[in-house]
Every structure is written in C-alpha cells, then in structure tokens.
Amino acid sequence: MAEGKIFQSLSGFYDIISDGKIYRTRARGNFRKRKITPLVGDDVEFEFSSQKEGYLLKIFDRKNSLVRPPIANIDQAVVVTSAVQPDFSYNLLDRQLVAVEINKITPIIYFTKTDLLDDKQFEYFKGVKKVYEQAGYKVILPSNSEDKAESVNEIKSLFENKETVFMGQTGAGKSTLLNQISPDLNLATGEISMALNRGKHTTRKVSFIQINNGLVADTPGFSSYEAFDIRPEELRDYFPEFRANADRCKFRGCVHINEPGCAIKAMLDEDELSHERYHDYVQLYDLLKNKKPIYNKKK
C-alpha cells in the first residue's frame, strides 16, 4: 500500500506519482457504485504489483475541485488577461477573481498582448497593475517590448511546490503563454483550440505537466465564472481589500453599500480604493441579490 497523487487520467486509467515514480492504476468498482470519480490532483491511497499494474483504493479529502478542467486540490490559478484583442475589462477580471477566490485558489494575474500597446496605453496598464497589487494580488505585466523571457521566468518561479491551473476568456492567449512556458507542449492555439476534445473519437485525457518542481494542468479551461453560488452578503469576503479593512466599519455585518460608518466608503471618498473595483462589486452584489433561487425538483 502506498500514497501518491493522480498525475494523469486516461480512458479509465489513473497514473499516480509517488516518490518520483509513476504507477498506472485502475479504480476499484466500489468508486463507481458510490458515484465517486477520481480526479487528476487527488491525493490517494493505492496498491500495486508493478508500476504498470495497480488499484486505486481511497481518495483523501479535497481542498477544492473544478469541473473544467476536471481537477482537484488546485493551489493557484494564472488568470490570463489580454490587454487588447479582446480589450481589457475590469468587470470580467473582477468576476474571474471572485470565482477563483470562492474555490479557495490563489489568483495570479498575467497580462498578455502587451507588445501591441503603444507607450501611452502601456502607462495606463501600469496603473491597472497598481490597482490590483494594492488590492493584494500578484500581477505580472510583461513590458511592451518583444522580450517576454523575464516575465515567463517570473511565472515559472511561482510554480514550485504548487498545483497550478490556467484560466481566461477565449482569445486571451492561454495556450500561447503555456507554450512559451513549456515549448514541448505544442498546444494548439487560435481557432483550432476551439475544436479540441469535441470529436467522438478523441481520447479523454487530463494531465499535469511538471514545471519547476510544480504541477501545471496542461489544458487551459477554468472558465466557470458566470454564476456564483454564494449569498450576496458573502461577496465582500472575496474582495481582499474590503476584507482587510472591514473591521474598521461601524457595523460588523456591513456590506459596504448603504450602511453608516462604512470604512470602505470612506476610503473610496479619499481615493484609497479603486472606484472601478467598487463599481463591479456593487453590480455583482445587486446581481446576487436579485437572483432567483433554483429549486431542485425531485421526481
């Protein structure tokens, strides 16, 4: 009996990494009976007779799990954000950050396509970078010259001893960035990536790649940030700069909208917090407040 981590899932087989070795296993039938699907990233217990023959016995509790890509126990997400083509949107980035925080994942913001910016536009993005850094996020803004090596090395350094997933809107350049980080990946970019994993005979494979002593999901896919399954009053906890200053509010349950003695509103008046981020917070709060509950009807 041994313990390890599922490194790759491939058509019913689970490759487990344990003490630097890879073991190919199958899941015992009782997983199916209990409707438990092992995921890449799961910490597991398994038995083996050789590195090619083994059985998955137990899945340990997950820190988190995602649907797209289907992986578990993610530490951080690189939120790939294009400066142009498609144009940058505070609103979209803030929604993505909230989705990541809800999943107990640490976000890293990485701006792409900065080489398409002129000097004036690049100055604007230096201001955007400052907004998110002051909110408490790690932000990588490559220079608008052609040399991206420094930024790629910076992001690689963050992978050590972590499990990392990439996310971002279509066209943001996720596959291009992953290829720059690990050139042997050869991920399809552009339009062709839209058609991946859609064909009937495509082998269903989810896996990690090892980069700088860390594990990186080799498929950019985390994009489920359209709907949040949280109560409106919980939203404030997913804006780090609000969370850090909330104890200064007059009322403990302050949601920073209309309450008297609100420290967040006072900081906004002094331009100590981002008005764009606050605007997105209010918009999201209203959206959650007006969301109709979904009742699961049992047949």
| Residues 104 and 153 both lie in one domain | yes
Question: Torsions phi, psi of 196, nearest 5?
Answer: -60, 145
The CATH number of whichever domain residue 271 belongs to comes to 1.10.40.50
Same structural domain for residues 50 and 80?
no
Tell whether residue 65 is among the known ligand binding residues: no
81/205 same-domain check: yes
Tell me whether residue 279 is annotated as binding.
Answer: no
Same domain (yes/no): 140, 240: no
Q: 18: annotated binding-site residue? A: no
153 and 260, same domain (yes or no): no
Two structure tokens written together for 59: 């899945």
Strand ranges (DSSP E) for the chain?
2-10, 13-18, 21-27, 43-50, 53-59, 76-82, 106-112, 138-140, 163-167, 205-211, 214-217
Q: Is residue 279 part of a domain?
A: yes
* 174 annotated to bind ligand: yes
Domain boundary among 34, 59, 84: 59
CA distances from 236 to 65, 113, 259, 277 (A): 23, 31, 14, 12
Residue 17 structural domain: 2-59
- HSE at residue 50, side-chain half, CA atoms within 13 A, is 2
- pLDDT score for 288: 92
Q: Are 18 and 3 in contact (CB under 8 A)?
A: yes
pLDDT at 293: 64
294: in domain: no
Check whether 136 is labelled as a binding-site residue: no
CA distance 153 to 189: 21
Tokens of 44: 């597991």
Write the CB contacts of 237 (distance below 8 Å, at least 6 apart in sequence): 243
25 a known binding residue?
no
The domain tally of the chain equals: 3
Annotated binding residue 170: yes
Judgement on whether residues 161 and 86 belong to the same structural domain of the protein: yes
Instruction: Specify if 298 maps to a domain.
Output: no
Tens digits of residue pLDDT in 231-242: 999 999 999 999
Domain CATH number, residue 82: 3.40.50.300
Is residue 131 one of the residues assigned to a domain? yes
For residue 204, what pLDDT is reported? Answer: 61
Whether omega for the bond prior to residue 69 falls within 30 degrees of 0, making it cis, is: yes
223 found inside a domain: no
Instruction: Say if CB 155 and CB 109 are below 8 A apart.
Output: no
Same domain, 85 and 212: yes
- The verdict on 208 and 92 lying in the same domain is yes
Spatial separation of the C-alpha atoms in residues 178 and 219, rounded to whole Å: 9
Q: Is 171 annotated as a binding-site member?
A: yes
Is pTM beyond 0.85? Reply is yes
**240 and 204 within one domain:** no
Q: What is the dihedral of CA 39, 42, 48, 54, to 10 degrees?
A: 0
Q: Are residues 169 and 266 in the same domain?
A: no
Please give the Cα distance from 6 to 73 (Å, whole number): 11
Helix residue ranges, H only, 158-261:
174-181, 240-245
Q: Are residues 44 and 120 in the same domain?
A: no
Cα–Cα distance, 168 to 110 (Å, whole number): 10
Report the pLDDT value the prediction gives residue 52, as an integer from 0 to 100: 95
Last residue of a domain, one of 160, 184, 217: 217
| Residue 29 pLDDT | 85
**Is 249 labeled as ligand-binding?**
yes
| 115 labeled part of a ligand binding site | yes
210 among the known binding-site residues?
no
Determine if residue 126 is labeled as part of a ligand binding site: no
Domain presence at residue 226: no
In a domain, 237, yes or no: yes
Q: What is the pLDDT along the chain (299 residues), one digit of tens a residue?
A: 999 999 999 888 999 999 989 999 999 888 988 989 999 999 999 999 999 999 999 999 999 998 878 899 999 999 999 999 999 999 999 999 999 999 899 999 999 999 999 999 999 999 999 999 999 999 999 987 766 789 999 999 999 999 999 988 888 888 889 888 988 766 655 433 444 444 343 446 788 988 999 999 877 666 555 567 899 999 999 999 999 999 999 999 999 999 999 999 999 999 999 999 999 999 999 999 998 765 554 44
Q: Is 256 annotated as a binding residue?
A: yes
